[in-house]
Amino acid sequence: MNYLFFFICLLVALNASAQESETFRLYDLGREGVLLQTGWRFQPGDNPDYARPNFDDRNWPTVDPTQPIQQFTRLQQAGIGWLRLRLKPSPQYNTTTLLQVNQVVASEIYLNGRLLQRYGVIGPTPQTSRAYQPSGEPIGFPLTANTESVLAVRVAYCPLLSPHFPAPLSYSVFSARLSQPVQVVHFYRNRTILVCINLIPSALLLILGVIHFTFFYYNRKQLTNLYFASYTILFSIGYAIGALPFLFRWVAVQEWLFIVGFILSVVGFWFSVVAHYLLFSFRQGRFFYAITAAGLLSIFMANAPDNPLKWLGGPFIWVLFSLELLRVTIVALRRQRPGAPIVVAGHALKALFLVLFINVYYLPLPTGVNPSTIGSLFFSLSALSVPLALSLFLAREFAMISQLLAVKLTEVETLSTQAIAQEQEKQGWLASQNETLEREVKTRTAELQQSLNQLKTTQDQLVQQEKLASLGELTAGVAHEIQNPLNFVNNFSEVNIELTDELRQALHQPAPDLGLADSLLDDLRENMQHISRNGQRAAGIVRSMLEHNRSASAVHERQPTNLNTLADECLTLAYHTMRARNPTLTVELIKVLDPAIGTPELVPQDIGRVLINLFNNAFYAVDQQVRRLGSAYHPQIRITTMTQNGHVLLTVRDNGVGIPADQLKKIYQPFFTTKPTGEGTGLGLSISYDIVTKGHGGQMTVASDVGKYTEFTLQLPITS
């Protein structure tokens, strides 16, 4: 029993010792502040009680929150979790403390249960949360000497666009640093200096790009200036984007900017390779195409989702492009190409400054000089070395071309003087030739005018003959069409005379045969109906001819017309007329009328006549299809209006019997009809065609498939 008691006391002592060691001891902030990296505990899930300072978190596992986000799998799986850190300043601690945070998540920071700051948006799911990067923005962090405080952080995971991509962002989950106000001031001062050092090369590259683009604008044949300007401008933009990530606090925006900057830099580097090839007149061979493919591959590797090798995209392509540029320059130097030493000197300076940049922390720098500042300066100088060398080379080429142009200009002036003298001699000879030509032209013009007058007279005669021929054809058609109903009238009239004689004899007999009289009267009535129907048909032919003549010769006045309303009214009128003739026929009417067509200038009476005729033909076609197919057929008539290229299009489509292909070219001829004899005059479409084409300057087209559909389209100008 004594051993058991001793063992329990030992466990309690060890637990108390462990608790004591898990509290972060804070003695002073040093020269650069204190990074809170150890002593953190993490628990997935979301519980507001986790912010309370007296919450028991001893069972929580320890974690390093400064680790990269892609390694923090527990937070990625949970979506939301809590970080807790117990810290205790020393009894002598008496310093104003500020908290600087860098993160790649959304967070809420609590000190002893009180909310200090909220960064980003914490949503119910990772997709609805928005990560925020404070970039070291200081917040007040009150601590009391020799008193334990609890820092609790509620963190929410936000999926990154490129979690493996090397960006100038902090990809740590949560990095907290305690600093003094003077350290924060130094932090901002150093960052401003670094930004200025990084922006100077960007500005210089942009200026070089504008200058050489101007050179190309005035000399389009020298493509090297164009590619060099493209290289410097794109690289300048990419360089600037990489230098200013802290201006944009939302992590998604930072990622997009860095990806865009990387792509611009790769494309700019490719333009640099092309400029080198053109500069030294090298042929683009297998090395060039391999470099191009490598550039495209690096962009893909850098932006492909869940690609653990995408970090190779940046360093890989920079090294590859730099080696290719160095190879081209060395080959040009060996071949003694003009200006190659200048470009070689630029590459040598670039290599020198890169070596100094890599070894900046080993250089003997004066006290108080920030190595990062000197390193940024060396890196900026390395970035400027090759562009400045190329610009110097192109400027030298431009100066040589200018000198050559001055020599050529002197030669041109000499030749111009000689050419002016020769031109004056030619002018005298041309003047005499012009006079001769003018006389010949006048003679030929008189002959042509005489021939033109003869042609005009002949044309007038041909037109008159054509009119007479058309009139004869029209007269013959009218006579033929009227002759049939007149023959019916004459025949039935003669039959009626015979019937009246028989009726008179039947009535004057001693014993009148009333049955025979009734039969004769029925025959008389039926014959009179035939006479009336054929008389009406002849009258209809004459009336249609009069309307045809008026539409061709009369002058109508156009006016703004609501074509949709007019079409709707005509369709309704035609439908009711059809229903009066055949009450059993039901047709689905589909109206797709575009109100945007406005009010085109039309003659409403004429267009209404055209629409009535088209609708009547459509109802007739579907009626014939019903008689052929029976109840399995569903008749439809669709009317559509729209605007197209300054015209109004009106389409009438039915799913009736259709028109055979060999008859489509004849349907606009007078007296041609697809209906059986006695059911149509053949003038409706002819009159309609003249109204649309001659009366309104439009077009009337037809498309049909036998047994499937017929579609008439009117194309009318909006204004007269």
Question: What is the per-residue pLDDT for 411?
Answer: 85
Determine how many CB atoms are found less than 10 A away from the CB of residue 294. 18
Helices (H), 304-370: 313-334, 340-358
Query: Could you give phi then psi for residue 242, rounded to 5 degrees?
Result: -70, -20
Q: How far is CA 716 from CA 244, 592, 711, in A?
A: 60, 17, 16
One-letter-per-residue 3-state SS of 257-315: HHHHHHHHHHHHHHHHHHHHHHHCCCCCCHHHHHHHHHHHHHHHHHHCCCCCCHHHHHH
Local structure of 329: helix, strand or coil: helix
Contact, 574 vs 612, CB < 8 A? yes
Cβ-proximal residues to 90 (8 Å cutoff; 6+ apart), any chain: 25, 26, 27, 28, 145, 146
Closest CA to 266 of 296, 290, 232: 296
Which single residue is written with the structure tokens 């930004």? 195
Is the domain defined by 24-178 classed in CATH 2.60.120.260?
Answer: yes
3-state SS, residue 586: coil
d(CA 566, CA 576): 16
Burial of 383 (0-12, 13-18, 19+ CB in 10 A): buried
Instruction: Give the whole-angstrom CA distance, residue 99 versus residue 178.
Output: 5
Other Cβ atoms within 10 Å of 217 Cβ, number: 11
pLDDT averages per 10-residue partition of the chain, 720 residues: 33 38 78 88 92 91 89 89 92 87 92 92 90 88 89 90 50 88 83 78 84 82 81 81 74 81 82 82 81 78 58 67 82 81 82 79 64 75 79 77 81 85 83 85 86 75 52 53 74 80 79 77 81 76 60 64 90 81 86 90 88 91 88 92 91 92 83 69 80 88 91 88
In angstroms, the CA 636 to CA 611 distance is 17
Between helices 340-358 and 371-507, what is the axis angle to 10°?
Answer: 110
**Distance from C-alpha of 250 to C-alpha of 238, rounded to nearest angstrom:** 19
Report how far apart the first and last C-alpha atoms of the chain are (Å, whole number).
117
Taking the C-alpha atoms of residue 349 and residue 345, their distance in angstroms, rounded to an integer, is 6
DSSP structure string for 115-174: EEEEESB--SSTTT-B-B--TT-EEE----TT--EEEEEEEE----S-TTS--SS--BSE
Q: Which fold has domain 555-717?
A: Heat Shock Protein 90 (3.30.565)
Q: In 3D, which of 173, 157, 162 has the Cα closest to residue 77?
A: 157
Closest listed residue to residue 31, CA positions, set 365, 413, 370:
370
For the whole model, what pTM was predicted?
0.49
Residues 6+ apart with CB under 8 A from 186: none
Domain ranges of the chain: 24-178, 180-337, 555-717
**Whole-angstrom distance, CA of residue 208 vs CA of residue 387:** 8
Q: Measured between alpha carbons, how far is residue 717 from residues 399, 610, 720 in Å?
A: 62, 16, 7
Q: Which of 164, 162, 160, 108 has its CA nearest to residue 134?
A: 108
| 8 A C-beta contact, residue 689 and residue 700 | yes
Tokens of 534: 């054929």
The tokens describing 493, both together, are 């009239």
Would you state the pLDDT for residue 237? 83
Report residue 643: phi and psi, to 5°.
Answer: -110, 145
- Cα 524 from Cα 140, distance rounded (Å): 118
